[in-house]
Structure 1
């Protein structure tokens, strides 16, 4: 509401209602219109028409660095592509995935200014989506929350999220996704995509149109996606249904309801190491569906190429899979009580169930098979409410609100028998939850209460100068109950059980925007942020969660453990005309109480626990420019540089690790993004590319993956009306145009201090996709 600065046209596209240049709702009364008109005219005069934009908008009028991604930009990608992958074009943002869609959720990795996605905030129509981790405990990925076709736009705050964002993890910025409203016209859309690796995606959306004079309307949509892995056996498959209902009310108010159901079944790409890359090559994959090869490998009989590696047992497994099903729903009342006062309330609920499997050669089955299937079954039940009042009084816009959520997260680990060789095969592990369970080492249940209060004021000192100031208070109380455990199966350890509270009563933010000349403005922002303790099961050793330790280690550290916090400082300059849009910004971040899994004690029997290992200091600069020299032509370029280093060395069971002054892993210091889009008559064409410098994959910077340049190209032709069909369009996209072999996701299994960890995934080779779509 009052925190995000957007233009009226951008807000109208996303939400179907106008907003002022400081982001607050525009009132529908005569007084409200009179107050809003000068701001709207100023914004419209300074920026180009919305229809000509693709990479838009550098947050004109915002008191912090913001970029808005429009529906036009989303439409350039292959249908079904993750919206987070589209954000990869923005300065300071790095998105990686092992597949061209971003559909393979385990490999989905987003960094922004050095912070990982577990340290950023994500919402959909204000509803919190958690930290976007694969094994999420308080949300779900954006691809499972909404079909990409139904996303109207994304607002990205690169430095720090707005005070009113519902997130317990936004240390380094926030991404707010917006869903499209139903159309006023009755009809629908059908879309069919074909492509490499037997890609087949169907999307159908039906709009009711206005059902009465008040504008009551809704839509329902369904998407089915199926594609094979680009290397090895297995596939990614998903079904998704969305529905949205809109009831306009008096004084420009509205009642909106949204529903999402999704189901996915996915096979894993194999995690790589530098050793595997150099000995076997980039196409190393798991054995599925060759059960014999996996069985013999567990017995020490390896294929010749794999036998050359330093660790042949982990070079390939039979399979790793994931199966998830989600339900998400929300209802929002956006009520203009009068021309100065708005009350917005959202109620939401979310349920998640499913399981992940790994066929392990480390735990044999009781029947004598050297393999077994390790299964984990995370589940989420959560519900919450957000409510905020916005009051416009003179030159002030006051905004105050609360957010409350109660969530339950459950997870257990199980081992199931596999058949003896010659007596059957394991088959497809995504078909059903494994049977023939012979052990249940642990099962846990967490319950978490989250409360956030915020208050802020946007004060327009002069027509060209405004200041936003406020704070939020946050309390997150989490605790787990160990439902079942067998210490003998957990190395003789008791699973950690206990409660932790992350709280801070005063997390302030101050920002300002000064339009000192026509088309030119300066902005700055200072904020203090906190991240709650993440949750995950015993011995997961990926997320820096306190509960991954044993009971002794948890008890020893819980008394002094503090949640991660930071201070973010940023400032910049914007220039906006119909011909040129430019941005130059600089920032500094001081990250404190960094939590990391560390092994201490004797090297023969170390204790692994989460510890506070100090801080990180980041300094960076970003520059972006969009040129529109001709009608229909848009040329975009951006460059970003970030220098993020650790402040201290770390003491472990192996000794003192020299991390002080080392660059953080997984994030490049230099990135370049560029694109050219051209629209001529019924043709639309674009080409985009991005360069990433090298990335380190250890904390001491002794191992790295090389930088790369990746290019994509696409074209779309509008046939117009054909018989009963309207807006018939054909599009064609090529991903990885030059067929570059490159490392995509890094650190998906965490990072080690030294060595060559098995912790990265290869990117997909050149891929081709074509789509036919039409309205009716």
Structure 2
């Protein structure tokens, strides 16, 4: 439990803790025991899932920053942390619950901020090598090489490569991931530095199916999964349902000491990601649609009983680039900073369809062999082209008084966001969509140190989030119907929050942090999900849940090592309610006063670590209370408890090997069978009458299944 001094709630995990977790862990799984954080697992290795809840708000309402750069999909706000960095190269992860920095390049951080830093290159030439193997055929190989000083330039660097693969723990298929990290770093003069970080990922993964509550209860621990054998009409065949993203990440943080108390930070960056995502789907040979226009009869092979099985190919492509800069001036006991962030993002995505032969094989060239209609036009379910521009400017002033015991910080950010795009399929209404948003976001924070060990603080912050996903602005179609599979949500407006917090900290033999918080949200945006009929394609749609009030208390307690043992406790009590009746467009559902989805009343973790320099280990147990998955509170997940453990031993230097070690990581020790999270939050699970008597259809939620017992053995050494 690292010492914190900022006038707001913050928790962190250090490099020492990260090094003792499974080498396949992503950022979400590394912070799962921190107060206010729910990070439900999906795969035992912890590679793929980035779903979190932070004080009852999900990952799309949380700002993710890596080395000064936002690392979320700029359209959907979904994080892809495993695409950015290997856990072996993470130096620290810090969570700010309920607020974000004014200088951070974020415009969706209603729930808080997660900031990750990369390790600094070693000053000596050498490296690190590790290999991991375990349950479900999981294996990871990792190699990092340190350059030491390059010539006499004062530049140090490292480059690493990793390969990870495993079999799905339920159903056929699995995951294969290749990843490269590299960094160059130089410091000079009085607090000047420059670095450049590079990351590249290529990943292939067979999708896991998310069952309904009824199907999970009927099938037990595994729920549904993709089919391992193909026959004509079997769109659930696993080779037809994959997510294969590639990504490239470059950032170059620069810091200059200009003298006279002036410092300048600037960080240019580029992130490029592309698919494809592919799914199986059956199309009617006659009577299907291109948008709202009937395509007549398809001229395709391999049709059986008037139906052709296809692979839907979605080669989405996204580029995000920007520049985030801060000029700060320190004069006596006052610090003033001026920040500006500009970002330009593009998103292109379409859905094309290729026939599958009688053996389940797909064409080698998706473009030339895809289905065409109307004399040569490629059949598409949607064809999105979007651009987004972000401008934020912030001014912050920090004043310290009484020898630094009192800190007062006040500032404001002005966020300006423009989104514009089209869906170029026949009948799309609207053909063009988008929005322009402007929001001033003030903050004020006060902190007072009672003495060297005790601190109290209070703050008031604001945040906003523009509607997420391209489907918030234009329709989406499927060739099986002229009716859109998703439409822009009813009354979608930017989400806005006002948050207040009062906290206390004690540092010393034990570190204690307690905070009481109150958040008020307007136009709270949720994502409703349902499977497209007859497919494993999960269709998402943003909905406006109205106002929400979130109140609670979080606490964290850690003891410094005592006889090499360090116990740890964290917990949160949460009371979150929906403040308005839900607007369906034709009526209202009586949701006012009901418990907000995915807001368990109690959650917490108990941990114990041991490290005597040679033998080390840790144990963590997480508890999560019952969670509703609908605004009407007519369906819920049960509470669950999961325990993980680590046991390892470090040796002395053996020849060229520096501190070789062996480590065992155990996930879900008791093999608890549980649902870990909903895939989305639907208005109602069953059909019912609205307040004014209009029939409102229901949509049964689907869920992620918690990862089962697994164990991994790692051997590693520096050299």
Q: TM-score range by the shorter chain?
A: 0.7 to 0.9
CA 1:72 to 1:323, structure 2 compared with 1: closer, same or farther past 3 Å? same
Q: Deviations over 1:200-241 (max 9, x none)?
A: 101100001123455311111101100110111011111011
Q: Which residue pairs with 1:757 in the alignment?
A: 700
Q: Which residue pairs with 1:774 in the alignment?
A: 717
Q: Which residue pairs with 2:383 in the alignment?
A: 443
Shift of 1:711: 0.4
Q: Which residue pairs with 1:459 in the alignment?
A: 399
Give the Cα separation in 2 of the matches to 1:706 and 1:560: 32
Report matched runs for 1:151-550 at 5 Å: 151-213=90-152, 215-292=154-231, 295=232, 319-338=240-259, 340-361=261-282, 366-367=300-301, 368-369=303-304, 370=307, 371-419=309-357, 423-426=358-361, 436-438=369-371, 439-462=379-402, 463-482=404-423, 484-487=424-427, 493-494=428-429, 496-504=431-439, 506-537=440-471, 545-548=472-475
- Alignment check: 8 A CA contact 1:271 1:758 kept: no
Greater helix fraction, Structure 1 or Structure 2: 1
2:19 to 40, 52, 75: 75
Q: Deviations over 1:375-432 (max 9, x none)?
A: 322211121111111111011111111000111111112222122xxx32237x9x98
- Alignment check: 8 A CA contact 1:697 1:757 kept: no
Q: Which residue pairs with 1:594 in the alignment?
A: 524
Q: Deviations over 1:279-328 (max 9, x none)?
A: 22222343443113xx4667xxxxxxxxxxxxxxx9x9775210111111
Report matched runs for 1:654-733 at 5 Å: 655-733=587-665
Shift of 1:718: 0.6
Give the Cα separation in 1 of the matches to 2:366 and 2:22: 32
Report matched runs for 1:613-624 at 5 Å: 613-624=545-556
CA 1:596 to 1:724, structure 2 compared with 1: closer, same or farther past 3 Å? closer
* 2:582 equivalent to 1:650: yes
Q: Which residue pairs with 2:289 in the alignment?
A: none
Q: What is the aligned length? A: 667
Give the Cα separation in 1 of the matches to 2:504 and 2:128: 41
Point out 4+ residue stretches in structure 1 off by more than 6 angstroms. 549-553, 556-560
Give the Cα separation in 2 of the matches to 1:287 and 1:552: 27
Q: Deviations over 1:128-183 (max 9, x none)?
A: 11269xxx657851211111111100121101011111111101110111011110
Q: Secondary structure at the match of 1:562?
A: coil
Shift of 1:736: 0.4
CA 1:86 to 1:560, structure 2 compared with 1: closer, same or farther past 3 Å? closer
CA 1:459 to 1:297, structure 2 compared with 1: closer, same or farther past 3 Å? same
Q: Secondary structure at the match of 2:172?
A: coil
* 2:9 equivalent to 1:57: no
- Alignment check: 8 A CA contact 2:434 2:473 kept: no
Shift of 1:595: 3.6
What do you get for the CA RMSD once the two structures are aligned? 2.7
Q: Secondary structure at the match of 2:170?
A: coil
Q: Secondary structure at the match of 1:209?
A: strand
Give the Cα separation in 1 of the matches to 2:336 and 2:417: 26
Shift of 1:332: 1.9
Give the Cα separation in 2 of the matches to 1:184 and 1:697: 51
For structure 1, list consecutive stretches of 5 or more residues without a partner in the other structure: 1-55, 299-313, 488-492, 538-544, 600-607
Give the Cα separation in 2 of the matches to 1:250 and 1:734: 46
Shift of 1:437: 1.7
Give the Cα separation in 2 of the matches to 1:518 and 1:116: 36
- Alignment check: 8 A CA contact 1:128 1:139 kept: no
Greater displacement, 507-516 / 561-570 = 561-570
- Alignment check: 8 A CA contact 1:751 1:759 kept: no
TM-score normalised per structure 1: 0.81
Shift of 1:754: 2.0
Shift of 1:652: 2.2
Q: Deviations over 1:6-51 (max 9, x none)?
A: xxxxxxxxxxxxxxxxxxxxxxxxxxxxxxxxxxxxxxxxxxxxxx
Q: Secondary structure at the match of 1:102?
A: coil
Greater displacement, 691-700 / 330-339 = 330-339
* 2:509 equivalent to 1:571: no
* 2:18 equivalent to 1:110: no
Shift of 1:75: 1.2
- Alignment check: 8 A CA contact 2:26 2:46 kept: yes
Greater displacement, 244-253 / 278-287 = 278-287
Shift of 1:720: 2.2
Give the Cα separation in 2 of the matches to 1:204 and 1:481: 44
Give the Cα separation in 1 of the matches to 2:278 and 2:489: 31
Q: Deviations over 1:64-94 (max 9, x none)?
A: 1111221111112110210211111100100
Greater strand fraction, Structure 1 or Structure 2: 2
CA 1:609 to 1:75, structure 2 compared with 1: closer, same or farther past 3 Å? closer
Give the Cα separation in 1 of the matches to 2:547 and 2:512: 33
Give the Cα separation in 1 of the matches to 2:382 and 2:88: 40
Shift of 1:719: 1.1
CA 1:290 to 1:667, structure 2 compared with 1: closer, same or farther past 3 Å? farther
Q: Which residue pairs with 2:567 in the alignment?
A: 635
- Alignment check: 8 A CA contact 2:416 2:438 kept: yes
Shift of 1:651: 3.3
Give the Cα separation in 2 of the matches to 1:698 and 1:75: 38
- Alignment check: 8 A CA contact 1:103 1:236 kept: no
Shift of 1:525: 1.3
- Alignment check: 8 A CA contact 2:50 2:79 kept: no
- Alignment check: 8 A CA contact 2:28 2:51 kept: no
TM-score normalised per structure 2: 0.88
CA 1:340 to 1:139, structure 2 compared with 1: closer, same or farther past 3 Å? farther
Give the Cα separation in 1 of the matches to 2:473 and 2:202: 30
Q: Deviations over 1:514-543 (max 9, x none)?
A: 111331110111011111232324xxxxxx
- Alignment check: 8 A CA contact 1:693 1:707 kept: yes
- Alignment check: 8 A CA contact 1:234 1:288 kept: no
- Alignment check: 8 A CA contact 1:287 1:319 kept: no
Q: Which residue pairs with 1:33 in the alignment?
A: none
CA 1:267 to 1:574, structure 2 compared with 1: closer, same or farther past 3 Å? same
Give the Cα separation in 1 of the matches to 2:703 and 2:527: 19
- Alignment check: 8 A CA contact 2:354 2:366 kept: no
* 2:67 equivalent to 1:125: yes
Give the Cα separation in 2 of the matches to 1:326 and 1:258: 14
Give the Cα separation in 2 of the matches to 1:518 and 1:683: 34
CA 1:560 to 1:360, structure 2 compared with 1: closer, same or farther past 3 Å? closer
